[in-house]
Amino acid sequence: MLKKTVAIIIMGFAILSCKDAQKSPNSNKTEIAIQKPSFVSEMNKITEEKSIDEAMVWFQANKGLNKYGYDESELNQLGYNLLYELKRPEDAIKVFRLSVTKFPNSANAYDSFAEAYLTNGDYDLSIENYRKSIKLGNTVQFHLLGFLQSKPYSESQIPNDTTKLFITKGNWENDTAFVYVQGGPDIDLQINEKDALHLMPNADKLLKIYPVQSQILNPDLLITNPILTPEQSAKENLISAEILNRTVLYLKDKGKKVFLIGHSYGSSICLEYLNSKNNLTDKTVIMGLDLDEDISSWNKLKTGEYIRWENGENPISKTVFAWVPNDYPIKSSFDRIADNLTALVKSNMQKNYTKLLKQSDFDKLISVFAKNDEANGRKSKKEIEFLKSKNVTAIEVEGNHHSMLTAEFMKKLYENLISGKPFKTE
């Protein structure tokens, strides 16, 4: 997997068992899984003391024995240790070649093999193996999109079954639904212990709803060629807003109170929902985004770039796929993906929602922003004063773009939404 965390410690043993802790029908004793020494652990010792070639010779001589066990993850760890910690990409390639030989149906094995070739400057072989990884995988991961053949624009289609528009976690019997629109744009829903709703108190008992977005329904949006036009981008953002609208209507039809929470790009979808639909939420929380974004610096962007703000104040350009070398044969494919992402994000962020929203929307709105937001810049005093004039709860947190995504802050937000407990001003 691209840029994985490197594991330095190699596992000492592999657990081999056909059935774990299986009881014999004629005995009350439990059979213990047999532990065998790990091939990879032995290979690692030989590599450190002699060379990877000696380790490979030893492996070939002993692979037929039933004495040793190994698994793919151990080979992967050995390969990454050689690739990044020991800076020996050619040796890492030998390990990953062994891995794809032993695990020919593993998308992850080919992904790692490709990464080693990329690091070693063998670009054509890296492309070949990344594409093998894509063929073997059930889904295309975000970092692999640039290896796909580009396609002309095709409008996203919303399924008729509303229950296909969101994923539910937690207790459906609750009368309150927390709807979270994630940042991105990503091609998968990132539902885990670090998302906003899982950081709330008693998260496992809440009703948590995660709506999809247009590019999740239709990942081909990001490989569109030519680049998405402003009209196409606007259409896709309206589709995301319509998905959110149908989700909220579904929950309201079930008699649920609805608290809508968005972060970053997800906040822009929430704002477009407020702008284009009849707002039925009980509260809407916009995190990590201004109602009126300053995108003037975007005019200086080159293809493949995006804007970040130093200390929330000074705009600088960065490359989206910085890991792709400038002389990579298909770098233009990755730049095009970056430009499609920018087109989607810019479509909503160029709007002045302070002028587009109604007072009834402001009455239900909570705006959460970070003092040193590197993604969107520091919120202007003008907008803060505007929000206060419209009776919007405006909360500033210390830190960066993700500073509000903590258990401490989400507890405060939860208590405010559920019981009206006011936020403490720092």
The DSSP call for residue 352 is B
Q: How confident is the model at residue 51 (pLDDT cuts 50, 70, 90)?
A: confident
Would you tell me how many other CB atoms lie within 10 Å of the CB of residue 421?
12
CATH topology of domain 13-20+31-138: 1.25.40
Could you state, in order of their start, the residue ranges of all structural domains in the chain? 13-20+31-138, 162-419
Chain length of the chain: 426
Give the separation between CA 118 and CA 13, rounded to whole angstroms: 31
CB 20 within 8 A of CB 30: no
The predicted model gives 115-137 an average pLDDT of 96
pLDDT-derived band at 53 (thresholds 50, 70, 90) equals confident
Q: What is the pLDDT of residue 120?
A: 97
3-state secondary structure of 411: helix
Cα–Cα distance, 320 to 328 (Å, whole number): 15
Tell me the average pLDDT across 188-194: 94
3-class DSSP state of 177:
strand
* Beta pairing partners, 18: none
- Contacts made by residues 157-166, CB under 8 angstroms, sequence distance 24+: 157/217, 157/218, 158/217, 158/239, 158/242, 158/243, 158/246, 159/217, 162/246, 162/247, 162/249, 162/250, 163/250, 165/211, 165/212, 165/243, 165/246, 165/247, 166/209, 166/210, 166/211, 166/212, 166/243, 166/247
The whole-number pLDDT of residue 21 equals 31
Homologous superfamily in CATH for domain 162-419: Alpha/Beta hydrolase fold, catalytic domain (3.40.50.1820)
First to last CA, the chain: 41
The average pLDDT across 197-207 equals 96
| Pick from 361, 382, 362, 381: nearest CA to 371 | 381
User: Per residue in 306-346, pLDDT tens?
Assistant: 999 998 889 999 999 999 999 999 999 999 999 999 999 99
Highest mean pLDDT among 13-17, 87-91, 410-414: 410-414
Within 8 A by CB and 6+ apart from 8, the residues are 81, 85
26 has a pLDDT exceeding 70: no
pLDDT of 36: 65
Q: How confident is the model at residue 52 (pLDDT cuts 50, 70, 90)?
A: confident
Band (pLDDT 50/70/90 cuts) for residue 141 is confident
280: which residues sit within 8 A by CB, 6+ positions away?
248, 249, 252, 258
User: What band does 251 get if pLDDT is binned at 50, 70 and 90?
Assistant: very high
Whether the per-residue pLDDT at 43 is higher than 90: the answer is no
3 phi-psi bin (left φ>0, alpha ψ -120 to 50, beta other): left
Residue 147, CA distances (Å) to 105, 124, 324, 328 in order: 19, 12, 11, 11
Residue 23 has pLDDT above 80, yes or no: no
Contact 276, 237 (CB under 8 A): no
**Position 255 confidence tier, pLDDT thresholds 50, 70, 90:** very high
Half-sphere exposure of residue 108, counting CA atoms within 13 Å on the CB side?
A: 12
Q: Which 3 state secondary structure label does DSSP give 185?
A: coil
- How much is the pLDDT for 281? 98
* Mean model confidence pLDDT for the chain: 88
Tokens for 387? Answer: 């929000």
Least confident among 17-21, 60-64, 322-326: 17-21
67-107: pLDDT as tens digits: 666 678 888 988 998 999 889 999 999 999 989 998 999 99
> How far is it, in rounded angstroms, from Cα 154 to Cα 335?
20
pLDDT at residue 66 in the model? 67
The stretch 204-214 carries a mean pLDDT of 97
Nearest residue to 416 via CA among 400, 398, 393: 393
User: Of 192, 234, 231, 236, whose CA–CA distance to 210 is shortest?
Assistant: 192
pLDDT (0 to 100) of residue 22:
32
**For the chain, what percent of residues have pLDDT higher than 90?**
75
Mean pLDDT of all residues in 350-355 = 95
Contact 296, 379 (CB under 8 A): no
